[in-house]
Copies of this chain bind each other. A is one copy, B any other.
């Protein structure tokens, strides 16, 4: 019987993995059981956010030392998905997802299940195109199978990290006679996230293969997956996939739920997803219940129509602060206020991920107070 464990750890800076080191030293975490890491680092979340690469290098160096395997290999086996930008009340932290085997533990109903997969590298000219989408969908199917989740409804969160172009990569591709969709890195990140979202929808069967065309891409936002969370960055070349759901084949106290968010003010979705896990927020989660929460995962988006519930917002017109930084800070303020805790993963760029102008929220919590 497989068993998922989730550790939410603080960092003093993007190269600080000392809390994980301590858990390994104490025997609480066994390095070979680390299946994936999801984290918020304190970069700007944009193309020139190197906190993600710094964290990843440090993590892989640490695991390499303990597992006595080269970091270059581990980085192709253990998805490490980081979202830069801890605007406002967010606290830099990372979530270590571990898969253990516990013989003799009786199943007690469905429990948190984890599956991961890597695609082949995506060449710059494919970023944001159909080939990219198909590549993500394949990896999602593999990860669902690896998690042993049988019913598609039991998948609650699919995190994908997609590669994008930089100016340099785009120039190299063009020099080689290939045509990227764009040479603008910020635009490429959006294309990559969109491809990832449609790939998740395709992989989970939410979206049909003929349900969208080139014209719907970054345009018809009614085509979306409320369980897809896509990051994009310069530091990866393959799609990295983490599937989280509930499965009767797994044991342990943890369970996951998710809800779409209708817009950046959708506090109801936050309260509802907590309620799905038996946690009340009236208006804030009580301290003893907060201790049951192992991870909060949110995607959001500055409404591209320039208004939220009829009122003009200024996120898209700001030359000083990137729109994604704006919306992450606002939505994190809302979610952290309900949870009473700034250790939440809020990531921007929710194209085709949940309702247009909104996004989604997933929460992992233990049934009773447990380790988290």
Contact = CB atoms under 8 A, between A and B. Distances in A.
B320 A88 contact: no
A89 B265 contact: yes
Interface stretch (A22-30, A155-163, A302-310, A359-367): A302-310
A168 B18 CA distance: 16
Contacts of A320: 44, 46, 48, 320, 322
Given A283-B268, A330-B333, A342 B309 contact: yes
Interface in A287-345: 304-309, 311-322, 325-327, 329-334, 336-338, 340-343
A79 interface: no
A264 B342 CA distance: 10
Number of copies of this chain that the complex holds: 4
Interface stretch (A9-17, A120-128, A198-206): A9-17
Interface in A216-267: 234, 264-267
Interface in A93-137: 93
A312 B12 contact: yes
A89 B316 contact: no
A50 B48 contact: no
A307 B90 CA distance: 10
Nearest to A43: B50
Contacts of A322: 319-320
Nearest to A44: B319
A251 to B, nearest CB: 30
Interface in A152-191: 166-168, 171, 183-186
Given A332-B333, A342-B309, A14 B265 contact: no
Contact of A184 (B167, B234, B316): B316
Secondary structure at the A interface, as helix, strand, loop or mixed, is loop
A351 interface: no
A338 B283 contact: yes
A42 interface: yes
A196 interface: no
A74 interface: no
Interface stretch (A52-60, A140-148, A207-215): A52-60
A353 interface: no
Given A88-B329, A167-B317, A333-B329, A267 B342 contact: no
